[in-house]
């Protein structure tokens, strides 16, 4: 298995309010994390950085997870705890009042991807020439889609597209979504912020990811394309590929 993480502040914004990384626990198990500090709020960069740091610190002290439900519970609990970390920081540092962030974190147990998320940063599964969005955006516009008031296509250009219904740091209590799905050999898992998905459609993401390029070049191409189309927002991508060794066991390569 191979993983690549990159972030870019884009062409317009002075600061990068996105954060993330690829982290490993005591036994070398991977956790990919992507966070997007909320635009229009003070200290969005602080919120995303603190959230990612908290997950990294907690993950690096853990032993390998072998049970899917156990990892789901861990993700739900640690992301919920992260909300408290952000709230406490904002209480101490008044300049950070109102800060918030999205968060998506994913790991792998055998042939399954396990993830936890809050906000509108997304996780996609790319396999067999198809791309599947595995997370539901916690946004006002996605609620309209789920209720049948507008189509997914109409949501892409809706003026309130970026209004979140859930985020870390903005409420005393949060609800974290967890999920798991089978991951086929030589498929990809893409975690990204809306700086990417606001610029490239799902089909365009698929086209870039199935090109005969290295993992690093695939990620660079996504960042460059988003910037070429305006780059008004920060852009962050974590890309993971799962493969088997000759004995058929999951492995990093």
**Is residue 175 within 8 Å of residue 166, measured between CB atoms?**
yes
Q: Which residues pair with 168 in a beta bridge?
A: 101
pLDDT value of position 244: 67
pLDDT value of position 39: 53
Q: Of 36, 67, 44, which is closest to residue 237 (Cα–Cα)?
A: 36
Mean pLDDT score across all residues of the chain:
91
pLDDT value of position 143: 87
pLDDT value of position 107: 98
What average pLDDT does the segment 151-155 reach?
A: 79
What average pLDDT does the segment 59-73 reach?
A: 98
pLDDT of 16 over the 90 cut: yes
Q: What whole-number distance in Å separates Cα of residue 28 and Cα of residue 22?
A: 11
What average pLDDT does the segment 161-187 reach?
A: 92
pLDDT category, 186, cuts 50, 70, 90?
confident
pLDDT of 169 over the 80 cut: yes
In this predicted model, what pLDDT tens digit does every residue of 31-44 receive, in sequence order? 999 999 985 556 89
Residue 195 vs residue 152, higher pLDDT: 195
Structural domains present in the chain: 2-133+167-244 (3.60.40.10)
pLDDT category, 246, cuts 50, 70, 90?
very low
pLDDT of 249 over the 50 cut: no
Residue 140 vs residue 236, higher pLDDT: 236
pLDDT value of position 63: 97
What average pLDDT does the segment 147-151 reach?
A: 85
pLDDT of 153 over the 80 cut: no
pLDDT value of position 127: 93
In this predicted model, what pLDDT tens digit does every residue of 187-208 receive, in sequence order? 999 999 999 999 999 999 999 9
DSSP state letters, the chain:
-EEEEEEE--SS-SS--EEEEEEE-TT--EEEEEEEBPTTSTTHHHHHHHHHHHHHHHHHT------HHHHHHHHHHHHHHHHHHHHHHHHH-GGGTT--B-EEEEEEETTEEEEEEESS-EEEEEETTEEEE-S---BHHHHHHHTTSS-HHHHTT-TTTT-BS--BSSSSS---EEEEEE--TT-EEEEE-HHHHTTS-HHHHHHHHTSS--HHHHHHHHHHHHHHTT--S-EEEEEEE-EE-TTS-EE--
pLDDT value of position 250: 37
Q: Output the CA–CA distances (angstroms, integers) from residue 143 to 38, 101, 115, 248, in the order listed.
A: 19, 19, 21, 42
What average pLDDT does the segment 205-225 reach?
A: 97
In this predicted model, what pLDDT tens digit does every residue of 86-123 receive, in sequence order? 999 999 998 888 899 999 999 999 999 999 999 999 99
pLDDT value of position 207: 97
**Is residue 124 within 8 Å of residue 208, measured between CB atoms?**
no
pLDDT category, 252, cuts 50, 70, 90?
very low
């Amino acid at each position: 298995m191979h993983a690549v993480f990159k972030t870019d502040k884009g062409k317009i914004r002075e600061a990068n309010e996105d954060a993330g990384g690829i982290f490993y626990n005591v036994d070398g198990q991977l956790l990919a994390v992507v966070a997007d500090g909320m635009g229009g709020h003070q200290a969005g960069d602080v919120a995303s950085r603190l959230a990612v740091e908290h997950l990294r610190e907690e993950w690096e002290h853990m032993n390998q997870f072998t049970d899917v439900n156990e990892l789901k519970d861990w993700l739900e609990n640690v992301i919920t705890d992260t909300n408290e970390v952000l709230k406490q920081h904002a209480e101490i540092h008044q300049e950070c009042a109102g800060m918030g962030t999205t968060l998506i974190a994913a790991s792998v147990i055998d042939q399954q991807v396990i993830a936890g998320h809050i906000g509108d940063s997304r996780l996609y599964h790319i396999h067999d020439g198809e791309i599947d969005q595995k997370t539901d955006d916690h946004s006002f516009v996605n609620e309209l889609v789920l209720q049948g008031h507008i189509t997914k296509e109409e949501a892409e250009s809706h003026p309130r597209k970026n209004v979140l219904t859930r985020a870390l740091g903005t409420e005393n209590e949060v609800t974290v979504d967890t999920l798991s799905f089978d991951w086929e050999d030589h498929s990809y898992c893409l975690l990204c912020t809306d700086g990417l998905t606001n610029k490239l459609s799902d089909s365009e993401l698929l086209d870039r990811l199935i090109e005969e390029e290295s993992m690093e070049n695939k990620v660079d191409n996504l960042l460059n394309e988003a910037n070429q189309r305006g780059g008004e927002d920060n852009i962050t991508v974590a890309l993971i590929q799962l493969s088997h060794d000759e004995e058929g066991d999951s492995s990093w390569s």
